[in-house]
Amino acid sequence: MLGMGDPALREEGRLCVAEMGECGAIEYPALMTKRGIITLLVLGAIAIAVVLVVTLPRLLKSEEPDPAPTYVVAIDAGHGGRDPGATADDVLEKDINLLIAKKVQLLVDAEPDLVVKMTRTLDIFVPLEDRIRIAEEAGATIYVSIHINSYATEEAHGVETIVSDARLQDDDAWVLAELLQDAVVEATGARDRGARSQDSYMHRTEMPAASIEVGYLTNPEERERLLDPAYQDQIAGGILAGIKRFMGWKYPPVSQ
């Protein structure tokens, strides 16, 4: 051990110690002085802080799950304005279509991964080609049109869903139509008239598109139900269920 009386020489950051009659040199870099050690510690702390500032946000971000995609659902309230659609006993199809469509809008917009694009929200006339254009410009994934049927006699009643006859049987439009049909029948208890094809303006789009006829305005009992807000809620809930079933089938993990 070196004592205070031991011969020592400090110069240029070097310490020379003589002991036991011999002079052995132990050299210390100048940085290893007290001030140098403090400087090293400070620089090390700064370096660690810089690394944390740069990398920590990236690490935290990489652990966050990617946000779920949002899908646009086009909801079309059939007819409107100068086009009343079916009429019976002073009841106009266009008005009930819009009421149900707005209920569907509220339900779909409440879903975290779905958002609605309405083709109309007012009693206005919108040409058929413009309805498709509105949906496509919004980037809609599917197109659901809401209508009410009519017939020459009062006996006809029930729900049916239409796809364009330009669609092949394996087209997604058929899947959408069948899922909508099943869900609305389940929700309302109405007669199941099935899904079928016919000539339709919906051939203008390649997205899955279906038109659901939620009842017959010419059937007195069904007309009364269609005017009932509670029954309209059931229809809207069924349409939402059909949409979610289709989206869950086509784009999992959309909740069903």
Q: Give the tens place of pLDDT for each residue, 30-83.
A: 445 777 777 767 777 787 776 666 676 666 655 556 566 899 999 999 999 999
Instruction: Provide the pLDDT for residue 161.
Output: 99
Instruction: Provide the pLDDT for residue 202.
Output: 97
Instruction: Provide the pLDDT for residue 46.
Output: 80
What is the spatial distance between Cα 141 and Cα 206, in angstroms, rounded to a whole number?
Answer: 10
pLDDT tier for residue 190 given thresholds of 50, 70 and 90: very high
**Average pLDDT for residues 150-166, to the nearest whole number?**
98
128, HSE (Cβ side, Cα atoms, 13 Å): 9
Instruction: Provide the pLDDT for residue 17.
Output: 45
What is the spatial distance between Cα 149 and Cα 209, in angstroms, rounded to a whole number?
Answer: 18
Instruction: Provide the pLDDT for residue 172.
Output: 97
Name the token pair of 51: 């690394």
